Amino acid sequence: MQRLKTRVQFQAVMAGGVVSRTAHFALHRLVLEPSPGQEPPVLALFGVPGTEPWLGAMAPKRWARRAVTRNAIKRQIYAMGAAVEPRLPPAAFVVRLRAAFDRQQFVSADSGPLRQAVRAELQQLFGRVASQVQP
């Protein structure tokens, strides 16, 4: 699985639309297979279409104030993406944190319970997309 690196790549995927949501995350997808109405420059951003999935993670300061928390969430996103990669279609994905985790419930910036909560939501998020692909 390759990672999204440029702002233009992230913007292209975010424009593709949301395919799955949980309480704290949204999953955006851009299908990389060329279609008649799709512009070739968008496909040029991701190399050869139809080869492997791409993944990007966004954890804005607005929803995760501490860098430790943002980095921990991004690590969980990339780890979960690598785990479900064989079940994902050839597309570009962005997982976006869209709500804050309750600081009263998760006092530490990078605690075990927070990691478990993030992982459970990410499994739910990716599970919905992977189940759409399976016959």
- Per-residue model confidence (pLDDT) at position 96: 94
Decide if pLDDT at 1 tops 70.
Answer: yes
pLDDT, tens digit, for every residue of 15-33?
888 998 999 999 999 887 7
Q: Whose CA is closest to 87, among 34, 29, 128?
A: 128
Q: Name the CATH topology of 2-133.
A: Ribosomal Protein S5; domain 2 (3.30.230)
pLDDT, tens digit, for every residue of 43-99?
667 666 567 888 999 999 999 888 998 999 999 999 999 999 888 888 889 999 999
Contact 20, 125 (CB under 8 A): yes
**Dihedral of alpha carbons 61, 66, 69, 70, sign:** positive
Please report, for the chain, the start and end positions of each structural domain, with discontinuous segments joined by +: 2-133
Contact 72, 108 (CB under 8 A): no
> How far, in Å, CA of 10 to CA of 77, rounded?
15
Decide if pLDDT at 135 tops 50.
Answer: no
Decide if pLDDT at 40 tops 50.
Answer: yes
